[in-house]
Amino acid sequence: KLKITFSIPEKYAAEVKSGSIIDFKVSGSDKTYNAKIYAIEPEVAVATRTLQIRALADNNDGKLFPGTFADVKLPLNIIKDAIVVPSQAIIPIQDGKKVFIANNGQAKEVMVDATTRTDSSILILSGLKPGDTLITSGVMSLKDEAPIKVKVK
């Protein structure tokens, strides 16, 4: 057996439970291994705002070595019917984040509650609904109720 120690951002702390199974890969191998979480640090590291997790993996084939770096795939909650938008559409403001949607030939400012992001997209928890036409370019110069002409790319 081999112990795996890794850290996760504090915002995912509530989604990780002891006994959960994680998948991981190591350098130089395309094989996906799995491990079972057996310990979760009781507090978030103040300097990094991360939570340390420990898991145990079987090493039956002997191809895993101590000290090797691993890419861990953490199973998080699945959000059905999630709305994901391009990051460039989000405008950070003092009280949160906003986007602009097209509404009868005008730009309409909409406050959104955003969470998890990747390099190119961000998950919206509230504020948008399916069918909204999101404006993704020129958003920094837009004002609420400004006349617009939407071009679909």
- Determine, yes or no, domain membership for 153: no
- Write out pLDDT tens, residues 31-80: 999 999 999 998 998 999 999 999 999 988 888 888 889 899 887 777 77
- Determine, yes or no, domain membership for 61: yes
Report residue 118's pLDDT band, with 50, 70 and 90 as the boundaries: confident
CA distances from 53 to 18, 39, 68 (A): 9, 6, 16
Tokens, residue 48: 């990094």
Give the mean pLDDT of 10-38.
89
Instruction: Answer with the residue of higher pLDDT: 79 or 98.
Output: 98
Q: Determine the Cα–Cα distance for residues 48 and 149; give it in Å rounded to an integer.
A: 45
Looking at residue 68, which CATH number applies to its domain? Answer: 2.40.30.170
- Determine, yes or no, domain membership for 119: yes
Has residue 114 got a pLDDT over 90?
no
Q: Which of 113, 84, 108, 118 is nearest to 96 (CA)?
A: 113
Instruction: Give me the pLDDT at residue 63, please.
Output: 85
- Determine, yes or no, domain membership for 105: yes
Q: Say yes or no: 99 and 60 in one domain.
A: no
Kindly list the strands in the beta sheet with 70-73, ordered across the sheet, starting from the edge strand earlier in the chain: 2-9, 50-57, 33-40, 21-26, 70-73
Domain boundary pick from 28, 44, 73: 73
Q: Say yes or no: 37 and 99 in one domain.
A: no
Instruction: Give me the pLDDT at residue 14, please.
Output: 82
Has residue 138 got a pLDDT over 80?
yes
User: Against a cut of 0.85, is the pTM above it?
Assistant: no
Mean pLDDT of the chain, nearest integer: 88
What domain range is 22 assigned to? 2-73
Q: Say yes or no: 9 and 64 in one domain.
A: yes
Q: Determine the Cα–Cα distance for residues 130 and 132; give it in Å rounded to an integer.
A: 6
User: What one-letter code names the amino acid at 80?
Assistant: K
Report residue 126's pLDDT band, with 50, 70 and 90 as the boundaries: confident
Q: Say yes or no: 12 and 68 in one domain.
A: yes
In which residue are the tokens 């199974």 written? 21
- The DSSP output letter for 58 is -
Has residue 142 got a pLDDT over 80?
yes
Instruction: Answer with the residue of higher pLDDT: 28 or 47.
Output: 47
Q: Say yes or no: 95 and 55 in one domain.
A: no
Q: Determine the Cα–Cα distance for residues 47 and 33; give it in Å rounded to an integer.
A: 30
Half-sphere exposure of 144 (CA within 13 A, CB side): 4
Q: Determine the Cα–Cα distance for residues 32 and 72; give it in Å rounded to an integer.
A: 10
Overall number of domains in the chain: 2
Looking at residue 106, which CATH number applies to its domain? Answer: 2.40.420.20
